[in-house]
Structure 1
Amino acid sequence: MTAPQYAMAFDPSEDDQALKQCMRKTLEDDRAILMTAQPFTAMLAMQLNLIPVVDSRLPTAGTDGKNVFFNARFMADRSRADRRFVLAHEVWHCALGHFRRQLGRDSALWNQACDYEVNHLLSDELGHCPKDALWDRRFQSLSAEEVYARLCHGIEQARKGQQVLDTHDLEQALKEQSENLVIDPDFAPETPATSQEEQALSEAWRQRLLGVAQQRERMPGNLPGHLRRIIGGIREPQVPWQQLLARFLKKQQGGDRQWLPPSRRHIHRGLYLPSRRGNLLELTVALDNSGSCLDDIPAFLGELKGMLAAFNRVNLRLMIFDTCIQSDLQLTEQDLYQLDKMELKGGGGTNFRPVFAACNEQPPQALIVLTDGCAEAPEHPPTYPVLWALTKDGKRPVNWGNALNLTDHTV
């Protein structure tokens, strides 16, 4: 893209250059400190180049998905806590895929919606939010799309004194023209030129997010709940449920199976499921949310989404349990995308007996238990089929029922 010509433009002064050098070291130090305080965000931040600039077209900060550009003067006036928040703010714009999620929405309102989503996430993680950043308790746990819908219909508006924290459209910022601009050559964002490049960048960040999650899961401590929900929302199921459930249920249901036309919502994923014509599949899934499984929750949620996506018509009873049943929900294929916002209660010990007691009152066609198996189960099998869907190092708690390893798909 040819750089625009300005009637009156200036390079950063010597003092500005010195400030940039100082701020570069400060930002690198802030990122290093994040590695101790918030390792998940810091690992993602390591994927970005930190570039301080002094440029009239960038009043605060902005990212192109490869670099984060900071206005050195703006950052020099912020507190240490604010600087780390701004850094993490840019990281999570990338990680949450805000580049690709706009989909023709009004830019100004979409930018606000994205900031609300990011700022709520970070206020939970960092325990801090700049006073002038967009934050409203009414938007807690809402996605950018949900916040946008409220903003678009005038249901809510920004509180006085709050504003978008950064510049979202860097390409448009480069086109700004006015008198006496300071133009910094270091402010050179690499915005995607085509939809293919934008999709590739988005997929790269999805893979980075999953990769960091896998690293973090191997470290001491558990992922915070909001991060587990995000990871579960983007993680693809590892198990080919449409094939496995067809085999698993065939003996129980009987009858001939026919290849029905695949759901238009899932045809892009290649899901061609054998299912009895006109029949509703009913499943019960028990999700182990005990302390030993907390870091497996993203994988469990990914598999749960896979089950809902595998069938055109499914009625799924979901029991979330530890020593007792914490939640008992009814889901259908229409609830697929609601799983990303699911609040999971539990985190204690494990007891399978309450799950089987509840199922014995209303026997399901089949029960699938997502677990590491670290608990005692009833001595005798129930009348309905049971599939133990085990974590990588999980162990089958009893000899009855079928067991599936979620990692290598062996039954």
Structure 2
Amino acid sequence: MPDVLRQRSSSLQLGGPRRPDAQEVRLKKRMQQVCEADRAWLLTSQPFTAKLLMQLQLVAVIDDRLPTAGTDGESIFFNAAFMANRTEADRRFILAHEVWHCALGHHRRQLQRDVERWNHACDYEVNALLKEALGHCPRDALFKRRFKGQSAEQIYAQLSQQARLRGQTLDVHDLQGVFHESPMSVNDPDFAPRPVSAENARAWQQRLVATAQQVERQQGDLPGYIGRLVTRLRQPVIPWQQVLAQFIHTTLSGNRQWLPPSRRHVHRGLYLPSQRSQSLSLVVVIDTSGSCQGDLPHFMSELGGILGSCDRVSLEVIEFDTRITQRRLLDEGQLQALQNWRCQGGGGSDIRPVFEALTDSPPELMVVLTDGYISAPTQAAPYPVIWCLTEDGRAPVEWGNALRLSS
């Protein structure tokens, strides 16, 4: 190797990654203006998406750690060279794609799911939504017509049945995971994403509802999937413990049995009926999917406290995935076992075997902890059923009583 090249190579290794050069800086400035114009265009064609997009800062970068685009919930970072090679329609789609990752709370909803499979599911959800709204989807984006109107959780469950994922996501989902350096790389100081926080995710839900109200006042109803999503977020949240406790109390009240007058009150001239001790036959059913595991300890602890007010409890705990994986019977003296409950099974998808198993011995009440993305009977059970849904879950059927577990 010539001495000059050897010295340059040594200098690069000692100096580390370089910053964008003058030509790359000019490209950044040009694409910054182009993408800001794309955002302005979206205000006329897609006002709802564009108003959400206005709440994110656009940041053009030249950085080998970000080959495409990504968001941290506060900014959209995009590789200027990547965007320069995209069509006008593709650029607008990509900007909308990033803001809908924020609006749909995809970072918050991942939980314990497989990262790559979840990222694919999120892109399928967003791309189906935007194909309906924009009438366009980039050729290299993940898109299947059958996923239209489905949530990332539903899509993830279907992708879990596949041995191998196909295609690549359009963008980078975890910006905190890209910070590796090599001596020959370009690192842009403008590429400085922040960690995604729970507060930021909650703020995006509020922005989504507030923006929807603004657009509805100006233009009327929201379209399709967006309208259904906003309707769900607007539903008032009642503390689930309060709802569950009231339901159990109502069930107990309906099952009280009154006996002949109590002798304790006869001498006072009061003929009051005596009451049997409060007893309850309850089945708690647990969906063993990863999305339920974060809620399980709090749910079981609260349930134990509620049931502690009953004199007699016959509690059966049933876990399921595609079949029943565990059954255990507890009485009122064993409720402390709920505090440290551990699940068996590998991911819920079909609760119908549980209902079949209870055909000959139906409970007074069934409580199901689930994300709702399961197969369930179309016909209502002959006993009360409460669907305790995870924060982003949905009722699997129209019958029963659904309540949402909120933090």
Taking structure 1 as the reference length, the TM-score comes to: 0.58
Does the Cα contact within 8 Å between 1:94 and 1:205 map onto a contact in 2? yes
Q: Which residue of 2 aligns with 1:215?
A: 214
Q: Distance in 2 between matches of 1:85 and 1:341?
A: 31
Q: Would you say 1:163 and 2:193 are equivalent positions?
A: no
Q: Would you say 1:96 and 2:104 are equivalent positions?
A: yes
Q: Which residue of 2 aligns with 1:119?
A: 127
Q: Distance in 2 between matches of 1:70 and 1:28?
A: 12
Q: Which residue of 2 aligns with 1:185?
A: 189
Q: Distance in 1 between matches of 2:183 and 2:163?
A: 38
Deviation of 1:7 after TM superposition, in Å, equals 5.8
Q: Distance in 1 between matches of 2:237 and 2:93?
A: 34
The amino acid that maps onto 1:212 is T
The amino acid that maps onto 1:187 is F
Deviation of 1:179 after TM superposition, in Å, equals 4.2
The amino acid that maps onto 1:117 is E
Match of 2:386 among 330, 333, 342: 333
Deviation of 1:139 after TM superposition, in Å, equals 2.5
Percent same amino acid at aligned positions? 47
The amino acid that maps onto 1:37 is S
Change (3 A) 1:329 1:43: farther
Cα deviations by residue, 1:317-372 (Å, 9 ceiling, x for unpaired): xxxxxxxxxxx99695339679859999xxxxxxxxxxxxxxxxxxxxxxxxxxxx
Deviation of 1:25 after TM superposition, in Å, equals 1.3
The amino acid that maps onto 2:62 is V
- In the TM superposition, what are the counterparts of 1:221-370 in structure 2 within 5 Å? 221-237=220-236, 333-334=386-387
Q: Distance in 2 between matches of 1:207 and 1:229?
A: 16
Change (3 A) 1:7 1:340: farther
The amino acid that maps onto 1:22 is R
Change (3 A) 1:180 1:259: farther
Q: Which residue of 2 aligns with 1:319?
A: none
Change (3 A) 1:340 1:23: farther
Change (3 A) 1:179 1:125: same
The amino acid that maps onto 1:166 is D
Deviation of 1:254 after TM superposition, in Å, equals 12
Aligned length: 290
Does the Cα contact within 8 Å between 2:221 and 2:227 map onto a contact in 1? no
Cα deviations by residue, 1:262-286 (Å, 9 ceiling, x for unpaired): x998969x9999xx999xxxxxxxx
Deviation of 1:236 after TM superposition, in Å, equals 3.5
Secondary structure at 2:24 match in 1: helix
Secondary structure at 2:73 match in 1: coil
Secondary structure at 1:333 match in 2: strand
Q: Which residue of 2 aligns with 1:303?
A: none
Deviation of 1:120 after TM superposition, in Å, equals 0.8
Q: Distance in 2 between matches of 1:124 and 1:178?
A: 41
Does the Cα contact within 8 Å between 1:230 and 1:340 map onto a contact in 2? no
Secondary structure at 1:103 match in 2: coil
Does the Cα contact within 8 Å between 1:45 and 1:91 map onto a contact in 2? yes
Q: Which residue of 1 aligns with 2:95?
A: 87
- Structure ID, larger Rg: 2
Does the Cα contact within 8 Å between 2:387 and 2:395 map onto a contact in 1? no
Q: Which residue of 1 aligns with 2:75?
A: 67
Does the Cα contact within 8 Å between 1:48 and 1:67 map onto a contact in 2? yes
Q: Distance in 1 between matches of 2:389 and 2:161?
A: 25
Q: Distance in 2 between matches of 1:200 and 1:24?
A: 28
Q: Which residue of 1 aligns with 2:33?
A: 25
Secondary structure at 1:108 match in 2: helix
Secondary structure at 2:127 match in 1: helix
Secondary structure at 1:334 match in 2: strand
Taking structure 2 as the reference length, the TM-score comes to: 0.58
Deviation of 1:13 after TM superposition, in Å, equals 1.5
Deviation of 1:17 after TM superposition, in Å, equals 0.9
The amino acid that maps onto 2:173 is H
Q: Would you say 1:12 and 2:20 are equivalent positions?
A: yes
Cα deviations by residue, 1:270-307 (Å, 9 ceiling, x for unpaired): 9999xx999xxxxxxxxxxxxxxxxxxxxxxxxxxxxx
Q: Distance in 1 between matches of 2:142 and 2:156?
A: 13
Q: Distance in 1 between matches of 2:222 and 2:379?
A: 24
The amino acid that maps onto 1:53 is V
Listed as ranges, the gaps of 5+ residues in structure 1 are 193-197, 279-311, 315-327, 345-411
